[in-house]
Amino acid sequence: MKCISQGCTVQSEAQQAVKEVLRKGYNRMIELDIKIEAGDLYDYMLRHSYNSPAGILGSALAAVMILVALARSQWLFLIGGLAILLYLPWVLFIRSRQQIMNNPAFKEKLHYKLDEEGLTITQGEAEAKQGWGDMHKAVSTGRSIILYTSKVNATIFPKRQLGDQKAAVVEMISTHMPPAKVKIRG
């Protein structure tokens, strides 16, 4: 029996064994060639920024300023609220374009290999590996599946470039990461 914070669920030994076989014995490797574009980077930056405490606080402050402006006809608050709401997306849009143009890593395709061990990224002669246990979380947006390799760094898998391998990528991530760390929808 496995207890979770507000209740208990029964998991038979057979179910646990199947889960373990899938986790350890799932001998599949997925290889992808991905070229990150400015829109992909912008999507990641928006999601990352607006899900941080500063992004949430800034958005809430801007919304309060706009509501105060509308309720009391204080147009200065309206201008301030709109400036705060529009500033971050604009700055992120510009930064994403600059990073794509200035960072050599974005000029060529990245080769990704997802397997039992984790994620391997290669480009030219450079190679980086990270084990599943070291991954921080996996999330999705309407455009991408984002695999955080640290609190601020991530691997971006644009859904349009995954094609028919999207389900396999989601399954690989979900199989090797704890469920609490995986928030992938659609």
Per-residue pLDDT of the chain (186 residues; tens, 9 = 90+): 444 444 444 445 545 544 555 555 455 899 999 999 999 999 999 998 888 888 888 888 888 988 988 888 888 888 888 888 899 899 999 999 999 999 988 999 999 999 999 999 999 899 999 999 999 999 999 999 999 999 889 999 999 999 999 999 999 999 999 999 999 986
Q: pTM value?
A: 0.76
What local confidence, expressed as pLDDT, does residue 19 receive? 55
Q: 172: closest CA among 124, 130, 118, 122?
A: 118
- For the chain, give every domain's residue range: 45-102
